[in-house]
Each structure stands twice: as structure tokens, then as C-alpha cells.
């Protein structure tokens, strides 16, 4: 598996095996990211690396370089000017989408990008909005506070909920961060904080400051507007705006099923805590690793009845370990697999599924759709933003 973001590349000719980097990694408490193999440091848990960079800072011999992508898997990074503006004048990028991960960086960039936007929109324009902020993760949240403080005509559109990727961290994850400056409220002083406490803090700030975020609204297109600026088309609205701030992170938009009933609250696109499904009838849709991991982790919870629906005839894309787990759960009668099946509609208390040429209904309390995602780089290219693919370079 390949690391998703900025990660260390270790030069084994220089490494003296001091283990400083292993000890310094803030994720080490919950996952093994770095480990020693034959007295040299190695990235042993690449997918758990989130780019803290603490390893590089403690290496006494400069053996560590922080890079994007690997020789096998390129990572697309948009080209952004120091004022956070892209090659498309009026479109700005802040946060992890620009390549720099971590909460503090996202907050700082969101605030600074809004300062640049504020200067630009002071010039007269004919658009209804000064700025549309897309995404309410840490970057979009800080930017929305900045736009409110500067009294800009703005709208913030978020396809899911407040907090972005942080809202999807596992339950009670210990978040390691650094103080960062939020407009209106001042310094966010956390260094080590539980995920839930951080999200509660942001919700409190949202309420106290009266900022407005349009939740459950997804941006589908950004086009040149008739009054200059841009027309932003969302799942609910269109916005005529002078500028756009993309603070959409790097996780992309989960692929939807496009069936009736999908808008119900019981349908989600990620599992945060398998225990919340205890004693429920759960349908998981998909055939990749995340679908198999979701189905087996929920099936391990007390009282669950889990069905895994996949449109193909075999799990050819998933890891052998996950396929084995599915077989084990099936053998124990904890999980039912429906190959060559398609969800037709989602109802209160049930789901209609077609298996081959037969259709039927199964009892249902919750649906988890793990059908992959639409990555932001394709979206960026359609808007005309220049993107550079990094293959293991700084």
C-alpha cells in the first residue's frame, strides 16, 4: 500500500539506526508507522503516515526527506501561488488539497487565503457573492470565520458535516496538533486532544460566532460566470461569485448509488464506529477493501445482521486478508454476501435488492456505501487548474 500524502523517504546509506524517528512519530501510539528493520528505519505502516514530519526534524544525520507520491503511485498536487491563488485567476486553494496536510496548516492556510481574497474582492465587481468557500474541514472553517470577520458576501458549502476529515477519524482518536490562529476567536490552543473534543469546540465556535455553513450540499461544477467571476453549481443551488476558495481536502467525493431513498439519514459513506450498529440490520455496498473491512468489522459486533452487496461475481480487487475475513464471517453465519446484486431502492426499515434477475426486499436499519470516490484531481482539471504529478519528490 502507498502513503496517501507527504511521507518520509529514508536514505539507508545515511541512517545510523538511532531510532529517534520511530520514537518521535506522533502516530506511533495508535499505529506503527516507522519501524527498525536490520538496524535501519523503515516506513512500515505507509498508509498510517499522515505527514506530521516529526521524524525528519529529529534525524541527526539528515537521512529523511519528506516526499509526495512514490515511484509506483503519483500524487497530484495543484500549483498554487504564495497568495494561494491558482493559475485560474480568482480560484484559490487552501489546506490539504494544496499538498500540505495537518490541521494546523489547514487552519493557517484557510485564514491566510481569505486575507488574500479579501484584498481582491475590495475591487468593484458585479457578482452577487465575493467568495464561495467549498468544504468545511479545518481550512474551510477558518476561511469562513475570516470571511465573516471581513464582512464579505460569502457562502460556505459542505457536502457532509463540520470538521472534514477530522469528523471521520476513528472514535476517540487522539489528535496531535499545534496551536493555530482562528479569525474572530483567536488562538486554538490544542496540542493533544480527543477528536470529539476538537469537533465540539469547532461547533461551539460556529454557534457563538453565528457563521453559516450550508451542510449536505455538494459542489458539482465551477464555470466562468456571465458577470466575470464564476458560477458555482451545487446539488441545491447556483452561486454567482467573484472568487472561489477550494478547501476540499484530498479524500474526494464518495461515489453515490443514485437510487431512490439514498438521501435518508441511515445511508452513510464511511464507518466511524462499528459498535454503533449493534443489534441492527446493516447493508454494506461495494467490493473493495473498505467495503469488506466495514462489513466484517460490523459483523463482529453483537446482534448485527450484515449483508454485503456487490455488483460483480467475485471480490477480485480486495486484499486476500480481507477476503479471508469475509469467508470466516460467512462460515460463522455472521455475514451474507450477495454477488451480482444491485440496490434498487432504500426504504424505511428495508432495502430492495436485485440479485441476478430476481428482486427482493431485506430488513434494514443502516446502509453503508463503499463504492469508491471521485478524486479531486479530476475536478481540478475540469476547472482548468494546473496540476503536477509527484512521483516520490519534494
- In the complex, which residues of this chain contact ligand SF4 (CB under 6 A)? 10, 15-21, 41, 58-59, 61, 63-64
- The entry of ligand SF4, ligand FAD, none that residue 21 binds, CB within 5 to 8 Å by partner kind: ligand SF4
What is d(CA 21, CA 54) in angstroms, rounded to the nearest whole number? 7
Question: Could you say which of ligand FAD, ligand SF4, none residue 19 binds, taking C-beta under 5 to 8 angstroms by partner kind?
Answer: ligand SF4
Smallest distance, ligand SF4 to C-beta of residue 29, A: 18
In the bound state with ligand FAD, the residue whose beta carbon lies nearer, of 6 and 351, is 6
Q: How many other CB atoms sit within 10 Å of the CB of residue 195?
A: 19
- Taking contact as CB under 6 A, which single stretch among the options 17-25, 100-108, 263-271, 302-310 is the one that binds ligand FAD? 100-108
Cα distance between residue 77 and residue 387, in whole Å: 5
Question: CA distances (Å), 191 to each of 31, 174, 187, in order?
Answer: 19, 10, 12
Residue 248, interface with ligand FAD (CB under 6 A)? yes
DSSP reduced 3-state for 210: coil
Site for ligand FAD in 45-84 (CB under 6 A): 50
**Cell 460490523, residue?**
298
Helices in the chain by DSSP H: which ranges? Answer: 20-24, 54-58, 103-121, 138-149, 195-209, 289-299, 320-331, 376-383
* C-alpha pair distances (Å), 114 with each of 27, 141, 145, 343: 31, 11, 9, 43
Q: Applying CB under 6 A, does 102 fall inside the site for ligand FAD?
A: yes
Residue 138 touching ligand FAD (CB under 6 A): yes
Q: Cell 472534514 maps to which residue?
A: 164
Is the Cβ–Cβ distance between 219 and 149 less than 8 Å? no
Residue 114 as a binder of ligand FAD (CB under 6 A): the answer is no
Q: Strands 154-157 and 129-134, how do they pair?
A: parallel
Q: Pick the piece of the chain touching ligand FAD (CB under 6 A) from 60-68, 102-110, 281-289, 351-359.
A: 102-110
Min separation Cβ 62 and ligand FAD, Å? 24
Nearer to ligand FAD, 176 or 306 (CB): 176
Applying CB under 6 A, among 76, 108, 130, 160 the residue interacting with ligand FAD is 160
Which backbone phi and psi does 42 adopt, to 5 degrees? -140, 150
Answer whether 210's CB lies under 8 Å from 196's CB: no
Angstrom distances, CA of residue 265 to CA of 216, 242, 268, 347, 381: 11, 34, 7, 11, 32
Cα(154)–Cα(109) distance, integer angstroms = 18
Least distance CB 64 / ligand SF4 (angstroms): 5
166 binds ligand FAD (CB under 6 A): yes
* Residue whose CB is less far from ligand SF4, 41 or 284: 41
248 binds, among ligand SF4, ligand FAD, none (CB under 5 to 8 A by kind): ligand FAD
Q: Tell me which residues in 167-186 interact with ligand FAD (CB under 6 A).
A: 169, 175-177
Give the one entry of ligand SF4, ligand FAD, none that residue 106 binds, where binding means its C-beta sits below a cut-off of 5 to 8 angstroms depending on kind. ligand FAD
Asked whether position 201 contacts ligand FAD by CB under 6 A, the answer is: no
Between 104 and 154, whose beta carbon lies closer to ligand FAD?
104
Total number of residues that touch ligand FAD (CB under 6 A): 34
381 phi, psi to nearest 5 deg: -65, -35
Q: In whole angstroms, what is the distance from residue 193 CA to residue 190 CA?
A: 6
Among ligand SF4, ligand FAD, none, the one that 20 touches (CB under a kind-dependent 5 to 8 A) is ligand SF4
**Contacts with 273 (C-beta within 8 Å, 6 or more apart), sequence order:** 170, 171
93 lies in the site for ligand FAD, by CB under 6 A: no
Does 164 interact with ligand FAD (rule: CB under 6 A)? yes
- Rounded to a whole number of angstroms, the minimum distance from the CB of residue 141 to ligand FAD is 7
Please give the Cα distance from 283 to 298 (Å, whole number).
10
136 touches ligand FAD by CB under 6 A:
yes
Contacts of 82 (CB under 8 A, 6+ apart): none
Residues making contact with ligand FAD (CB under 6 A) = 50, 95-97, 101-104, 106, 134-140, 157-160, 164-166, 169, 175-177, 218-219, 247-249, 251, 253
Amino acid at each position: 500500500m502507498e502513503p496517501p500524502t507527504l511521507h518520509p523517504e529514508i536514505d539507508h546509506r545515511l541512517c545510523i539506526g538511532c531510532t529517534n524517528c520511530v520514537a518521535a512519530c506522533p502516530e506511533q501510539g495508535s499505529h506503527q508507522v516507522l519501524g527498525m528493520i536490520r538496524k535501519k528505519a523503515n516506513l512500515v505502516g505507509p498508509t498510517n503516515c499522515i505527514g506530521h514530519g516529526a521524524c525528519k526534524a529529529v534525524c541527526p544525520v539528515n537521512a529523511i526527506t519528506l516526499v509526495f507520491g512514490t515511484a509506483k503511485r503519483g500524487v497530484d498536487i495543484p500549483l498554487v501561488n504564495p497568495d494561494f491563488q491558482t493559475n485560474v485567476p480568482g480560484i484559490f486553494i487552501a489546506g490539504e488539497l494544496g499538498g500540505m496536510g495537518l490541521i494546523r496548516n489547514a487552519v493557517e492556510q484557510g485564514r491566510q487565503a481569505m486575507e488574500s481574497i479579501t484584498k481582491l474582492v475590495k475591487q468593484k465587481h458585479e457578482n452577487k457573492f465575493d467568495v464561495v468557500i467549498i468544504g468545511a474541514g479545518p481550512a474551510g472553517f477558518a476561511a469562513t470565520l475570516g470571511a465573516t470577520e471581513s464582512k464579505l458576501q460569502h457562502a460556505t458549502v459542505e457536502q457532509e458535516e463540520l470538521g472534514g476529515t477530522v469528523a471521520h477519524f476513528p472514535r476517540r482518536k487522539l489528535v496531535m496538533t499545534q496551536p493555530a490562529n482562528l479569525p474572530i476567536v483567536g488562538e486554538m490552543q490544542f496540542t493533544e486532544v480527543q477528536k470529539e473534543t476538537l469537533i465540539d469546540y469547532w461547533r461551539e465556535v460556529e454557534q457563538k460566532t453565528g457563521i453559516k455553513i450550508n451542510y449536505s450540499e455538494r459542489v458539482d461544477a465551477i464555470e466562468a460566470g456571465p458577470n466575470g467571476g464564476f458560477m458555482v453549481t451545487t446539488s441545491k443551488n447556483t452561486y454567482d461569485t467573484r472568487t472561489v476558495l477550494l478547501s476540499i481536502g484530498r479524500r474526494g467525493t464518495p461515489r453515490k448509488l443514485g437510487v431512490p431513498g439514498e438521501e435518508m439519514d441511515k445511508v452513510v459513506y464511511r464507518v466511524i464506529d462499528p459498535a454503533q450498529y449493534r443489534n441492527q440490520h446493516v447493508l454494506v455496498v461495494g467490493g473493495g477493501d473498505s467495503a469488506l473491512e466495514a462489513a466484517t468489522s460490523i459483523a463482529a459486533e453483537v446482534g448485527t445482521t450484515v449483508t454485503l452487496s456487490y455488483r460483480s461475481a467475485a471480490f477480485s480487487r480486495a486484499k486476500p486478508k480481507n477476503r479471508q475475513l469475509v469467508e470466516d464471517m460467512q462460515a460463522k453465519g455472521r455475514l451474507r454476501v450477495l454477488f451480482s446484486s444491485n440496490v434498487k431502492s432504500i426504504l424505511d426499515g428495508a432495502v430492495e435488492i436485485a440479485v441476478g434477475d430476481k428482486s427482493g426486499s431485506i430488513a434494514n436499519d443502516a446502509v453503508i456505501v463503499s463504492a469508491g470516490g471521485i478524486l479531486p484531481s479530476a475536478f481540478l482539471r475540469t476547472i482548468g487548474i494546473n496540476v503536477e504529478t509527484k512521483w516520490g519528490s519534494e
